[in-house]
A and B are shown apart, each in its own frame.
Chain A
């Protein structure tokens, strides 16, 4: 079984620690720095959960304000950003709940689907396939692709793969277990890959077919393991 590489020891305190201390001492300009540092990431997370621009703007503003008010509760056991994301996730879910007039909203919605957990499309992609689309077409494809994922998968993917949080930090930010994050991440990655294949696979199938045939097709396609 694979082993997880040891996490490098963190001897240096995270730069946010000093900023948080300055804010606690009454320096609002230090908070200004933290807001500028993380506003884009928080907006992105809020957009991915609420799927609504106005809600995302409100969530971002409310999350930063709530974090400021609750700064005394920040223990420093986790990164400031992880703590901030947790607040933004909760604010986003509350916003969704309001929009759905009180209906229960959670990160576990719609995750029972088995769709995309086993690869089906084995066509190789064109080299740099995104270059076949202009910026706006590509943005539409990526939005459509990720919006089709269950919310609980989408947010794990964004935090882990786009934001670069570790598995443990993602689990902490979302209030999930580490195995749950790992399971959702694999399924999110596979589902996104499958959906993007519709747009990015080679237009002439000969190359990828030949490549697979030359090696002997594995079982992911025909049910027999290689």
Chain B
């Protein structure tokens, strides 16, 4: 496997949608290629960081205000 081939299936590797025989090829490639290993590790970490840190919090008071408005309008729309 080449780096270009690895990069083409990077998403499948991250999403664990890889056939067993391809997985073995990937493991061989990663054992000899530090760059691809770093790209894989840090891309996984990128996803994890964005998943674990909410950057657009909806404040409780805003949520409550919107919530009341939505339900009131829904009742009127009936």
Given A3-B19, A142-B49, are A48 and B73 also a contact pair (CB < 8 Å)? no
Q: What per-residue 1/0 map shows which CB atoms of B47-78 lie under 8 Å from chain A?
A: 10111011110100011001101110111011
User: Smallest distance from the beta carbon of A133 to chain B beta carbons, Å?
Assistant: 10
Bound-state Cα–Cα, A200 to B53, Å = 15
User: Smallest distance from the beta carbon of A33 to chain B beta carbons, Å?
Assistant: 11
Bound-state Cα–Cα, A166 to B29, Å = 28
User: Smallest distance from the beta carbon of B72 to chain A beta carbons, Å?
Assistant: 10
Q: Does A15 lie at the interface of the complex (its beta carbon under 8 Å from any beta carbon of B)?
A: no
Q: Does A226 lie at the interface of the complex (its beta carbon under 8 Å from any beta carbon of B)?
A: yes
Q: Is the interface of B mostly helix, strand, loop or mixed?
A: helix
Q: Does A159 lie at the interface of the complex (its beta carbon under 8 Å from any beta carbon of B)?
A: no
Instruction: Specify which of B16, B22, B50, B62 is in contact with A192 (CB 8 Å cutoff).
Output: B50
Find out whether the CB atom of A215 lies under 8 angstroms from the CB atom of B31: yes
Find out whether the CB atom of B71 lies under 8 angstroms from the CB atom of A122: no
- Chain A residues contacting B67 (CB-CB under 8 Å) are 32, 35-36, 39
Find out whether the CB atom of A68 lies under 8 angstroms from the CB atom of B2: no
Instruction: Specify which of B46, B62, B73 is in contact with A57 (CB 8 Å cutoff).
Output: B62
Find out whether the CB atom of A28 lies under 8 angstroms from the CB atom of B75: yes
- Chain A residues contacting B45 (CB-CB under 8 Å) are 125, 129, 200
Q: Does B7 lie at the interface of the complex (its beta carbon under 8 Å from any beta carbon of A)?
A: yes
Find out whether the CB atom of B17 lies under 8 angstroms from the CB atom of A2: yes
Q: What per-residue 1/0 map shows which CB atoms of B22-41 lie under 8 Å from chain A?
A: 10000001011111111101
Bound-state Cα–Cα, A185 to B50, Å = 14
By beta carbon, the residue of chain B nearest A219 is B3
Bound-state Cα–Cα, A96 to B53, Å = 26
Bound-state Cα–Cα, A48 to B9, Å = 27
Q: What per-residue 1/0 map shows which CB atoms of A1-30 lie under 8 Å from chain B?
A: 111110000000000000000000010100
Query: Which A residues, 132 to 164, have Cβ-Cβ distances below 8 Å to chain B?
Result: 138-139, 142-143, 146, 157, 161-162
Find out whether the CB atom of A5 lies under 8 angstroms from the CB atom of B32: no
Tell which of A58-66, A72-80, A84-92, A101-109 binds the partner: A58-66
Instruction: Specify which of B39, B51, B56, B74 is in contact with A220 (CB 8 Å cutoff).
Output: B39
Instruction: Specify which of B3, B12, B55, B62 is in contact with A2 (CB 8 Å cutoff).
Output: B12
Find out whether the CB atom of B34 lies under 8 angstroms from the CB atom of A212: yes
By beta carbon, the residue of chain B nearest A48 is B56
By beta carbon, the residue of chain B nearest A40 is B58
Bound-state Cα–Cα, A218 to B43, Å = 17
User: Smallest distance from the beta carbon of A210 to chain B beta carbons, Å?
Assistant: 9
Find out whether the CB atom of A211 lies under 8 angstroms from the CB atom of B7: no
Bound-state Cα–Cα, A216 to B32, Å = 7
Nearest 9 interchain pairs by C-beta: A212-B34, A225-B2, A218-B33, A47-B56, A215-B34, A2-B18, A193-B46, A226-B33, A122-B35
